[in-house]
Amino acid sequence: MNLRHTMTSPVFHRVLAVLGLGSAFLIMASVFSPDRMMAQNAPTASSSRRPAPVVESTDPHEGLQSLGSVESATHVVKIFATEGGPRYSIYTNDGVELGVLMSAEQVNRFFPDLQLPGTDFSVPTTDELAGPGPLMIMDQIPQVAGW
């Protein structure tokens, strides 16, 4: 084969192009290594602007754990855990807020028609302490001969 024929062959041109592009890639990769360029330190267009103001939340329940809710015919009571004990937020069935983060005593004072479960703090009477009464009242069974 002739050297002139080898240099004009399309295969030779392709090999030469691949070698040229490969060497250009290696040179570029060594010059622009990720170690030398830190993206987080580069200034951006948005860094020149002032940061947006932080808007404080007006939701008093934010960050509190919900313990559930109790629904009646007229009200919805949402219960939240706080450091001071359970707190109750009272709403109408339409979602109108009537009271926020109230103690059980406040709920009993301002909403006497609501009976919160487990909030009866009255002292039991002696009849209640004695336990339940008889289940059924019945007369004595007469003695039958042979029994």
Return the higher-pLDDT residue of 55 and 19. Answer: 19
Residue 2 has pLDDT above 70, yes or no: no
For residue range 34-44, list pLDDT tens digits in order. Answer: 655 555 555 55
Tell me what pLDDT residue 84 has. Answer: 86
pTM here is: 0.44
For residue range 65-96, list pLDDT tens digits in order. Answer: 988 888 888 889 999 988 888 899 999 999 89
Residue 64 has pLDDT above 70, yes or no: yes
Tell me what pLDDT residue 30 has. Answer: 74
For residue range 101-147, list pLDDT tens digits in order. Answer: 998 889 888 988 887 766 655 666 666 666 666 666 666 666 666 65
Return the higher-pLDDT residue of 54 and 10. Answer: 10
| C-beta contacts of 141-145 below 8 A and 24+ residues apart | none
Tell me what pLDDT residue 29 has. Answer: 76
pLDDT classification of 16: cutoffs 50, 70, 90: confident
Q: Any idea of the CA torsion for 60, 63, 64, 70, to the nearest 10 degrees? A: 70
* Section 11-37 average pLDDT: 79
| C-beta contacts of 79-86 below 8 A and 24+ residues apart | none
Tell me what pLDDT residue 91 has. Answer: 93
| Residues 86/79, Cβ–Cβ less than 8 Å | yes
Tell me what pLDDT residue 12 has. Answer: 82
Coil, strand or helix: which one is 108? helix
Query: What pairs with residue 86 in β-bridges?
Result: 81
Under DSSP, the state recorded for 2 is -
The burial class, CB within 10 Å (0-12 / 13-18 / 19+), for 131 is exposed
